[in-house]
Amino acid sequence: MNDRTSPVDDQEALAFHKEPVPGKLGLTPTKPMATQRDLSLAYSPGVAAPVKAIAENPDAVYDYTSKGNMVAVISNGTAILGLGNLGAPASKPVMEGKAVLFKRFADLDAVDIEVEEEDAEAFIECVKRIGNTFGGINLEDIKAPESFIVEQRLRELLDVPVFHDDQHGTAIISAAGIINACHLTNRKMEDLRVVVNGAGAAGIAVLELLKAMGVKHENALLCDSKGVIHPGRDGLNQWKAAHAVETDRRTLAEAVDGADCFLGLSVAGALTQDMVKTMGKDPIIFAMANPDPEISPEDARAVREDAIIATGRSDYPNQVNNVLGFPYIFRGALDVRARTINEEMKIAAARALAALAKEDVPDEVAAAYHGHRPTFGREYIIPSPFDPRLIHYVPPYVAQAAMDTGVARKPIADMSAYRASLARRLDPTAALLQRIQGAVMGHGRRIVFAEGEEPSVIRAAYAFQNQELGKAVLVGREEITKANMRLVGVPEDAIEVVNARLSDRNSDYADFLYERLQRQGYLRRDVQRLVNNDRNVFSACMVKLGDADGMVTGTTRSYAAALSDVSLVLDPAEGQRVMGMSIALAKNRTLFIADTNIAEFPDSEALADIAEETAATAKGFGFTPRVAFLSYSTFGNPSGQRSEKLQEAVRLLDERGVDFEYEGEMNVDVALDPSHRFLYPFSRLKGPANVLVMPAIHAASIATKLLRVAGGATVIGPMLVGVEKPVQIARLGASVSEITTLAALAAYDPEKHEVETPMVAE
């Protein structure tokens, strides 16, 4: 985590903002604009209907416009980053960037507005007149003390949340870190002795929030460039004066002597090593000046190894990054149509962030740190901005606080459903996976993880079990497995470990496998060696003989090798063909694609079987299957030998009398685009196909990878279908989340859950 990021070249940054089109923002319509009727509905005359409805009931604006998902990012450019007052036009790149972050992290649409007005009253009047057209107002880069006046007045004048991120965003993230630092050092907030250096907008906001969370007024000293703020000082404005404390300390050095916590929002070098030496045991140092902190972590640790340190920089641990706050705070506030963002909502956000930092981090976080996986402790007290769980972790805290304090106009009745909807906003697989997880949760199905010595598999098994998706069993040598459990921070007794060679069931498995393979050239010693040494064979035996309900493997061997091992033990399900199926989620559609990894050149009968099995699987996931046999030709044009086998597969389904829609052969655009029905009115598909049967494995592989890489689709799988017992084979080097997903799929029983737990509506 301490690897420094590469410096950004000015010319590179300019090119980034200029090409391929200037700026970082664009608009995308949410309704189709393809026909004259679309235009009539979107504008005249159709638009008159919502206009009248809103005139009669102003709150209906949330129902018929984008207001409820729209934030205005507003600045006058008087305090741009650390560059100072460079004017409103110069602030536009920053405001555009802020808008991009709203969209990227919370799926909120944001519009940047730069106001050429430095007079506070005139600025307030301008924002007042346009403010209520948005769901919320994010104020940015406005210098103090005007920023205090502007935010306070606009909160009084507008009926939507107003939030000055430079103040409160920094305060919330800092508070989250302080919560966890106190936890690690066995301190209580009410006993904390705090020094804040920097009495600008951010410094005062940090101090106010900490006091709201329990820090005592007399235990908190605020310092500016002239020293400690106390009642006897002349020239204090009302915001500084509110935090003046009776004390005989006058300098920053005197203030930090014996202090538990230093929060710097000032200038580089303000805190010296000599000052750090005088701080209390386990000092908490948040040096947040940018680009260079009040003291570097290296200098602080050189004199105090017991210090917990945070900065505003991404190249050190514990970055106080505002992107952890404002997107999710506004998400929660707008989702309940809050009138304001109050102290309780800010505290809720801080507590949510503090709680998330204690959770085991997902793969996305490890990837952001070049494979290093941070764990909760002195160098990880604040979550990573790359943690994908932020979107469904923080907003519910904020929304609940808004509801509890009476500022929510639209309370959320089902908070669990709300969390699920948040996860779906940025992750197209979330809806599907949530339903799968919901279906298997509480059934206690035992899933064996064949490669139990691998750290990624251990973490996946732990996640599977912690999420109550079932009981995990690791196959591996105890000494190695438990050592790796310690390495990844999993308690040694958290997961059952089975050593194949020492298992009480070893001889039973060998007896079964010898009887199965003795006429296929295997001697007794051969099968005994397989059971002892091959984890896939042993795990498959566990599943076959009822000691486990399903298995996951594949991270250390090729797909073909893993499948070959499993096939020594398990047969195809009765009347089924073993095949691979991938699920692609793209552009608001879900596609089931087969066969993606077993049959290289399936004949007509195999294609018909694949269609039936894939349709059944899609139905098991709650979809109404519509099958398309894909080809380079469409209904015989152009004709060819390869298209004939697809035509024959269709005829076989005709003879079988299957209970789902199917058609072919056809090109992929005909299968997916409903408008092609006008050219082929005889087609039996009543809508776009969602089950795509490929003519050969290479076509399936190319299609799924093209969808993922070039089309931006999320692909689950390939799933193994048609084996008599639930088995899933991961790709080589699969991530923890991928392994966990496959384990959930192995635990999922489509026949059992199809009626009880429908997956998704199309």
* Interhelix angle 165-184/146-157, nearest 10 degrees: 100
Please identify which residue in the block is written with the tokens 């997903």. Answer: 741
Q: Which residues contact 431 (CB under 8 A, 6 or more apart)?
A: 420, 424, 760
Rounded Cα gap, residues 332 and 395, in angstroms? 4
Tell whether omega for the bond before 595 is within 30 degrees of 0, i.e. cis: yes
- CA angle in degrees (0–180, nearest 5) for 76-149-112: 30
Distance from CA of residue 618 to its chain's centroid?
Answer: 25
Q: State the distance between the two ends of the chain, measured CA to CA, in whole angstroms.
A: 43
Burial class (CB in 10 A: 0-12, 13-18, 19+), 190: exposed
Structure tokens at 514: 């010898």
How many alpha carbons fall within 13 Å on the CB side of residue 753?
A: 24
Residue in 43, 188, 277, 587 annotated catalytic: 43
* Residue 745 main-chain phi, psi, to 5 deg: -65, -35
Please identify which residue in the block is written with the tokens 């072919």. Answer: 664
Residue 24 Cα distances to 97, 101, 107, 201, 245, angstroms: 7, 11, 16, 28, 46
Catalytic site residue 92?
Answer: no
Q: Which residues contact 460 (CB under 8 A, 6 or more apart)?
A: 449, 552, 736, 737, 739, 740, 743
Q: DSSP strand E in 493-642: where?
A: 496-498, 550-553, 579-586, 589-594, 626-630
Do residues 368 and 306 lie in contact, with contact meaning Cβ atoms separated by under 8 Å?
no
Residue 27: CB atoms within 10 A of its CB come to 7
Nearest to 151 by CA among 167, 135, 169: 167
Residue in 98, 482, 645, 725 annotated catalytic: 98
Give the 3-state secondary structure of residue 332: helix
Catalytic site residue 482?
Answer: no
Q: What is the CA radius of gyration of the chain?
A: 31
Residue 126: CB atoms within 10 A of its CB come to 17
Alpha helix positions (H), 107-227: 120-131, 146-157, 165-184, 201-212
Residue 15: enclosing H or E segment and its boundaries?
Answer: helix 10-18
Q: Which residues are catalytic?
A: 43, 98
